[in-house]
């Protein structure tokens, strides 16, 4: 019997003792690529703050100018982060005159959660 670094003994790691593959995990290459792009987009502190600020906005949307003030970042920096989130399909962009307004695409976040964490959908612990 081997003992890994964590001190938890491994008795048998043969295929017959492994858990079956979860049916909720994406196997389609395109789905996996989309999931990877979306998770990479969310894996940044500033982008997480942007999504949080938009979520907390009373109207559920914010202008680039609102985000630059809240984040204390230059407009080009905020725009670059917004472009990444929008390209990943996580934000919706609407041009109104000079300014672009952004809102969360809740359908995309639900789908991301469904594919990335399938057990969390059926009430299992997250």
Report pLDDT for 126. 45
Number of domains in the chain: 1
Whether 5 is in a domain gets the answer: no
pTM above 0.75, yes or no: no
Whether 16 is in a domain gets the answer: no
Report pLDDT for 115. 78
Per-residue model confidence as pLDDT tens for the chain (126 residues): 454 556 666 665 666 666 665 555 556 788 889 899 999 999 999 999 999 999 999 999 999 999 999 999 999 999 999 999 999 999 999 999 998 999 999 999 988 888 777 776 655 554
Residue 101's CATH number: 1.10.10.10
Whether 12 is in a domain gets the answer: no
Q: Domain range spanning residue 104?
A: 30-117
Whether 124 is in a domain gets the answer: no
Q: Classify burial at 99, counting beta carbons within 10 Å of its beta carbon; exposed 0-12, middle 13-18, buried 19 or more.
A: exposed
């Amino acid at each position: 019997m081997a003992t890994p670094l964590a001190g938890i003994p491994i008795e048998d790691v043969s295929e017959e003792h492994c858990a079956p593959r979860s049916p909720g995990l994406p196997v389609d290459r395109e789905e996996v690529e989309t999931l990877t792009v979306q998770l990479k987009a969310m894996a940044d502190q500033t982008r997480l703050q942007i999504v949080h600020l938009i979520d907390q906005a009373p109207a559920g949307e914010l202008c680039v100018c609102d985000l630059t003030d809240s984040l204390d970042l230059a407009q080009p920096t905020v725009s670059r982060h917004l472009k990444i989130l929008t390209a990943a399909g996580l934000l919706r962009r609407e041009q109104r005159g000079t300014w672009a307004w952004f809102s969360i695409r809740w359908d995309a976040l639900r789908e991301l959660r469904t594919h990335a964490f399938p057990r969390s959908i059926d009430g299992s612990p997250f």
